[in-house]
Amino acid sequence: MTIRRRDVVAGLASAPAILHATTRQADAQGARKVIRAVPIGDLRALDPIWTTAYITRNHAYMVWDTLFAMDASNTPQPQMVGEYGVSGDQLTWTFRLRDGLLWHDDTPVRAADCVASIRRWGARDGMGRALLSVTDSLTARDDRTFVLVLKRPIGFVLEALGKIDSNVPFMMPERLARTDPSTQIGEIIGSGPFRFIREEWIAGVKVVYEKNTRYVPRSEPPSQAAGGKVVKVDRVETLYTPDSATAANGLMAGELDMLENPAPDLVPQLTRHRDVIVAPNDPLGYQLFQVINHLHPPFDNVLARRALQTAISQSDFMNATVGDRTPWRECGGIFGCFGEDTQKAALGWPAQNLARATALLRESGYDGRPIVILDPADNATLHPAALVTADTLRKMGANVDLQAMDWSALVQRRNNRAAPNAGGWNLFITNATITGIANPLLNIFTRHCEEAWFGWPCDRRVPELMTAWTFEGDAAKRNEIMMALQKVHVETVTSIPLGQYRSVIAHRRALRGVIPGPALFYWNVEKA
C-alpha cells in the first residue's frame, strides 16, 4: 500500500461557524482587536516544566517571561534581568531584575521567585540539570538580586537561562515554583505579556489570552524571543480545529486569522488566496522521528530496533508527510543536519533493505504480538507518518495495532510505562525543532537511563559521553565526542530520524509583525 497525502477537493465548502458567535459577541463589547488562531494542538497540560509538549510551550510564552532570551542569531540577551555580572574567576554570577516586573496578581516579581523557578526547571530539564550539577549555591541576596555560585567555570550559564525550546526556564511565583516538578502547578500566574483567562478555557475547544496592560516591555526591538514584547492586540483566542479543511476554509473566509500548522496538502490552495500569506516561521526547521519504547517487547531487543531502522526510508516519510509543498531533506544526524551532509554514512546508518529488516525482526525472537502505534489523527504532520510506520511494519510481517487519538491524549499516554496491551505503547511519531536538538545539552530526546525521555532507553555510554562533551573546553575534542555520542545512538537505536523539513504558518494579510522563531509569538503582531 502506498501512503499519500489525501487529495483535496477543489472548492471546499465554507467552514462551520466554530465558536464564532461567542467571539463576535466579545468583539461587540467595543472596538477590540482580537486574533483568532488555530493552534498546533489541543491544550490540555498547562505547566511547561511538567511537559515538553510544544502546544504547552507556546501557551507558556504568552503567560510567563524568562530571565534571558535568544535573539534571531540565537545569542542570549537579558529579558527579565536588568543588570548582571560575573566574577573574574567565572564562578560567581550576580543577576539583578529590571524595574516594573509584576505577576498577574499585581504582586512584585522577587529574586526568591526566580531562585525557586530555576531549581524546579533544573530538576526536569537536561540543560538545567547540567547547570545545577555544578552549582555550589543559588540564593536571593535581596528582593531584586540573586547570586549563582559555581563549583567550576562553565560556558553555558546564559544559554541555559535563555533556553528557547522545551523545557524553557519560565519564571513563576515562588509558591508555584515550589510545586513538586513531577506534579503540575495549580495556578497559571505569570508576569508575561498576556494573561491566561482560565474561566474561558474550554479544553478541546478554546483558549483565551488577554493583553497584560501592566506589562513593561524592554526598549530593544523584538528579535526572536528577545527584545521588547509589545502587545498590539487586546485578545488572542486559539480555537482547536482538528479538521484541517475546516481550519483552511475559516482562514480564507476571514473567520480565522492564523493557522499555526496548516495541513501540507492545503498549502497550495492557501498560497493562491489573495488575502492569505503562507511563510516559513522557524528559521531552521524540524526533525521528524520515531520514538521507540525500550522497556517492552519487541523493541526491548536491539535487533528488533535495528530491524525497524533498516526498514526505514526517510524519503517515504517526507513524501507522505510534507510532500513537495515544503522543503525537506534526508538527515541521519541525531542532532540535526547543517549544510549538505546527511551524516548517514559517517554515523553508520544501515542502507534501507526490507528483506534484511524482516530477517532481523525474526532473529530478534518477535512472537507476533501486536505492536501498538500511537496515532495523533488530529495532527496533519504526525498522522501520515504514523500510517507509514504501520505500513512499514506490516511489510515486515509484524502484527500492528494502530490506535488513533488526538495529540493531547497521546501526550498523556506516552507517560505510561505499562505493557502495550495494558495501556502502554511501542511506538509514536513526534517532531522537534532543530534549534531545540542541536547539541547534547539541548536535546532532551537523546537522554538515557535516569534522565531518559519517553521510551526510556539506557546505555551507560550515553550519559558518560554527554558529561564529557558538556565540560570539554577544546572545540576539536568536543566534535570528536559528539561524533562518538551520535554513533552510540545509532548503534543502540535510541530513536529513528525520519527526515528534516521546514514548517510554515498561514495567516491573513491583515496580520503584520509575526516574529520568526521555533515557537509562535503573539507580541509585536498587529491586526489591521
Q: Which of 26-30, 54-58, 110-114 has the lowest mean pLDDT?
A: 26-30
Does the structure show a pLDDT above 50 at 1? no
Q: What is the pLDDT of residues 130-189, one digit of tens each?
A: 999 999 999 999 999 999 999 999 999 999 999 999 999 999 999 999 999 999 999 999
| CA dist list (Å): 377 to 429, 455, 484 | 11, 21, 37
Taking the C-alpha atoms of residue 149 and residue 136, their distance in angstroms, rounded to an integer, is 5
178-194 in b/e burial notation, b at 16+ Cβ within 10 A?
ebebeeebeebbbbbbb
Does the structure show a pLDDT above 70 at 264? yes
* Confidence band, pLDDT 50/70/90 cuts, at residue 318: very high
Does the structure show a pLDDT above 50 at 9? no
Residue 210, phi then psi, degrees to nearest 5: -115, 150
What is residue 24's predicted lDDT score, i.e. its pLDDT? Answer: 53
Tell me the domain boundaries of the chain.
20-42+189-283+508-527, 65-174, 286-501
Cβ neighbors of 64 (< 8 A, separation 6 or more) are: 48, 170, 171, 172, 190, 191, 192
Terminal Cα distance for the chain, rounded: 47
Average pLDDT of the chain is 94
Taking the C-alpha atoms of residue 186 and residue 463, their distance in angstroms, rounded to an integer, is 33
Measure CA 2 to chain center. Answer: 29
Does the structure show a pLDDT above 70 at 202? yes
Level-2 CATH architecture, domain 65-174: Alpha-Beta Complex (3.90)
Helix (H) / strand (E) element for 506: namely strand 504-508
285, three cell numbers: 526547521
What is residue 13's predicted lDDT score, i.e. its pLDDT? Answer: 35
Average pLDDT of 371-392? 97
What is residue 36's predicted lDDT score, i.e. its pLDDT? Answer: 98
Q: Which of 6-15, 192-201, 326-335 has the lowest mean pLDDT?
A: 6-15
The interaxial angle of helices 461-471 and 475-492, nearest 10 deg, is: 160
What is residue 27's predicted lDDT score, i.e. its pLDDT? Answer: 56
What is residue 326's predicted lDDT score, i.e. its pLDDT? Answer: 83
Q: What is the pLDDT of residues 298-309, one digit of tens each?
A: 999 999 999 999
Average pLDDT of 426-454? 97
**Residue for grid cell 500492528:** 400
Average pLDDT of 398-410? 97
Level-2 CATH architecture, domain 286-501: Roll (3.10)
**Residue for grid cell 508555584:** 176
CATH number for 20-42+189-283+508-527 (one of 3.40.190.10, 3.40.190.80, 3.30.930.10, 3.30.1370.60): it is 3.40.190.10
What is residue 15's predicted lDDT score, i.e. its pLDDT? Answer: 38
Higher pLDDT, 342 or 24: 342
3-state secondary structure of 403: strand
Taking the C-alpha atoms of residue 259 and residue 380, their distance in angstroms, rounded to an integer, is 12
Q: What is the pLDDT of residues 268-289, one digit of tens each?
A: 999 999 999 999 999 899 999 9
Average pLDDT of 328-346? 94
What is residue 279's predicted lDDT score, i.e. its pLDDT? Answer: 94
Detail the DSSP E strand segments found in 320-417.
328-329, 371-376, 400-405
Residue 354, phi then psi, degrees to nearest 5: -65, -40
Average pLDDT of 452-476? 96
